[in-house]
Chains A and B, each alone.
Chain A
Amino acid sequence: MKKDLSTRVILIAVFTLICGFYLQFSMRYWLETRKLNAMDEETRIEYLRENGARIQALRERIITLGLDLQGGMHVTLELDTPQLLIELTQGSADAEFREVLTAANGRAEANRTNLIDEFVTEFTTRDPNARLSRYFRSDADNITRRSTNEDVVAYLKTQQTSAMDRAVEIVRTRVDRFGVTEPSILKQGSNRIITELPGVDDEQRVRNLLKGTARLEFRTTPEPSELTAALQSIVNLYQPAAEDSGAVSPLLEVFQPIGQGVVMGYASALDTARVRELLLASTVVRYWPRETHLLWTSRAETTGDDGTGIFGLIAVRSTAELTGEAIIEARPAFNPETNAPEVSMTMNPEAARVWSRITGANINRAVAIVLDNAVVTYPNVISRISDGRSQITGLGSQAEADDLVNILMSGALPAPLEIVEERTVGPSLGAASVTAGFNSAVAGLILVAIFMILYYQVGGGIADIALFSNIFFVLGILAAFNATLTLPGIAGIVLTIGMAVDANVLIFDRIREEMRGGKTMLAAIDSGYRNAMSAIIDSNVTTFLTAVILFSFGVGPIKGFAVTLMIGIAASLFSAIVITRVILDYLTRDRSRSISFG
């Protein structure tokens, strides 16, 4: 018995030392931040210059707080796989292709299956003899006109994987250039990317930065007089008959026509889809000059009375003359005359020649620079530009110019990314949650500890020691694994406080029962531990199993809940069984002392 006791004491000591070692980083970091917060600006800078590297090193080993506790932005992006397939056809996607794709996409979403598989099934059901190689070619991957459907499918799947990898890389480059401390960018499944950006407070910039395809296009515009005439005819067409005095034009209800140059008019952000629908309806679409495309401006021109943004509708030609691939360099700059921020771009020589021709042919006409299907700027060409330079002007701020350069230089995404989930928590709410979680944990701990002493007296005191060491171990293990603590995670710890004493309750109740049965104290303790064991194991295994399941299916903060619950259960078993037993064995070492279990 004695020998056994010393091995267990060593085990506890080792475990305590390990947890203590990992926890001291968090402790020291916390002390440093307190010290820093108390300093005035000047001393802080001075102090950081001397100790910055040391504090940074500490920071890497502390228990990280989740986004819900420190504030920040969690964004899940989804790669537009249908669009990727269309891109891969290199322009040979016809109406039939798109029809098959839409049908396949609907089924893939409904059945949670792979889009490429659904696409092939749909394709071959429609025409068993049709070959996918009609649309897809690649010299590099040896996909030719004679390639079998299986070869093409394999090729498409590799392309999908590599497109995802590329997208993750590009998102990472953009986030790094944006400058976020400790971002996390992870691939999830076959088409999603999870980005966690702690401390981000400018959500709009991040949204644009993450999902921007960086599809930059230079487009020429149709003849203004033809546009004005077309707009006039369409407005007239929607005008209700004169005798019907009560009626209003459905178009004018949502749209304010201007028809000045290439600006067709203005509409509220709420109505943009409706306006395009009305202006491009099959009954009126023939009025527009050939090859006309209607696009909204990328940012609101003004704000309406009720606070919604008002966007401009710009007419451009439907084909792009040049794309972002032509850009070899982009940098933020200031307009020498107005001092407004802009982005200055340099094109490769081949594109420079095209640009020179376009600008030459469009003097005094507008040329639109389109980014991700929204018109960023539409300046009038003053003279031919032959050095391959161009500027994006009309930017809102220096930050916008920086972000645009970032997007242009990080490379274009293989297909658009869509934000399917966004959760942002402000730092103040996060701080309030930390306080709330901390208070609950402390209050819960005190309540349970007092109850245990009242109910089991000395035994309860021993169980309390186990309870406090349990919390210490949970935090130590979290620190050792560099785990992230979320608000549900704290809830998990609080719940563990309540459930951790269960093992001791089982044991002590059993000891009381054995003593009632007439056993001596020592024998009762011994059989109490032994007989309670199977119930302890069974009940903890079942709770642990549900936590594991929660962990594998849950996302984000819920995972944090499951993690602390699992660690809590494991640690509580150790503290409630091993630690309390060592203390009891020590207290009863001279065999005469009696211990009260209440």
Chain B
Amino acid sequence: MLEAVQLTKRYSSIPAVQDLSFTLRPGEVLGCLGPNGSGKSTTVKMLTGLLEPSRGLVRFDGRNIQANLAEYRTHLGYVPEEAHLYPYLTGWEYLDMIGTLRGMSRPLMESKINALLELFSLLPARHAAMGTYSKGMRQRILLIAALMHDPDIFIFDEPLSGLDVTSALIFKNLVQSLGRAGKLVFYCSHVLEVVEKVCTDVLILRQGVVIAHDSVANVGQILGQSLENTFLHLVDDVDTMRVAGDIVAVMKAA
């Protein structure tokens, strides 16, 4: 079980996240939504142990993760927002390095890498430098790197970025399968339909504060509307139609 207890992070006394609390149980897929600057990335960094909270703590199986980060990270599979890979390494070399750094046994690692590369349609490109990969290919490499050691917790930060339709569909089903397999999944995204489809619960952030945290069905029913409309109503009090009209007007201005 992963617990966030009154997580608060301040940058130079400016709060990025305030009193964020939730519990993620095995089998749950928690979606995290929020506009830019709402504190999603800071939350992810605190959950992965990359950032130490200014106040509060993250507990995994009842233990503060900061007490033994290295041990916690053996249970973690993380897909960062940016696919910032080493362009001169091949896909296979990168995964081999990640597996080695995770202490995986060689035969198991090699068989898993090959199988996952095959499943993610990357086997033909495994010996090409990642500098030549498309954004979607890089994203798939990151997904394999997060999956290959069979972690208990998955933290996905915009994992669909750049994926083609087939890969995205595979991934959405994969997330649901991971939930059914009893894994803990924290899923950060801007894509509301995906969150609506794959997550069991949703957490909506605005300016670092939780404004809604419930099951997807319940959050959608707050206003008796879809998750998209509820999200817009809760987060941004913006008339999107009017803004779109204004953009066209500016575009056409002489």
Chain B binds chain A:
no
